[in-house]
């Protein structure tokens, strides 16, 4: 999704006008209107300020959804079942031990 479509969707979903988000972020309304008409941002600082005001990441502003790393973590029970079923290969190797003080 492009910045134009994503920004328009975010503003519509939150029922925020360009004037309101311009005041909140400090990004000139004219700049935001340029983005909505398809121009690409020239200053990253403006993008960061807009994202801060909307409480989103730059990736989300461009329409990319955040990946939830917690989704990739298997519950302990499932992991144990898969280990026991031979889904994973477990390699045992000796560790180099250092003497303590």
pLDDT digit string (tens) for 63-98? 776 555 555 565 677 767 766 776 666 666 777 766
For helices 18-25 and 44-54, angle between their N-to-C axes, nearest 10 degrees: 100
Q: Where are the beta strands (DSSP E) in the chain?
A: none
Give this prediction's pTM: 0.61
Q: What is the mean pLDDT of residues 27-42?
A: 92
Q: Which of 22, 94, 101 is nearest to 54 (CA)?
A: 22
Average pLDDT score over the chain:
81
Do 48 and 54 meet the contact criterion of CB atoms below 8 Å apart?
Answer: no
Tokens, residue 37: 């008409």
**Burial class of 35 by CB neighbour count within 10 A (0 to 12, 13 to 18, 19+):** buried
Q: How confident is the model at residue 14 (pLDDT cuts 50, 70, 90)?
A: very high
Q: Which of 38, 59, 65 is nearest to 47 (CA)?
A: 59
């Amino acid at each position: 999704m492009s910045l134009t479509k994503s920004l328009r969707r975010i503003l519509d979903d939150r029922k925020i006008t360009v004037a309101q988000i311009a005041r909140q972020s400090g990004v000139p309304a004219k700049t935001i209107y340029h983005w909505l008409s398809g121009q690409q941002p020239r200053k990253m600082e403006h993008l960061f300020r807009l994202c801060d005001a909307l409480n989103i990441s730059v990736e989300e502003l461009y329409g990319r959804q955040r990946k939830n790393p917690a989704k990739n973590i298997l519950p302990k029970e499932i992991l144990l079942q898969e280990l026991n079923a031979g889904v994973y290969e477990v390699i045992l190797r000796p560790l180099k031990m250092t003497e303590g003080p």
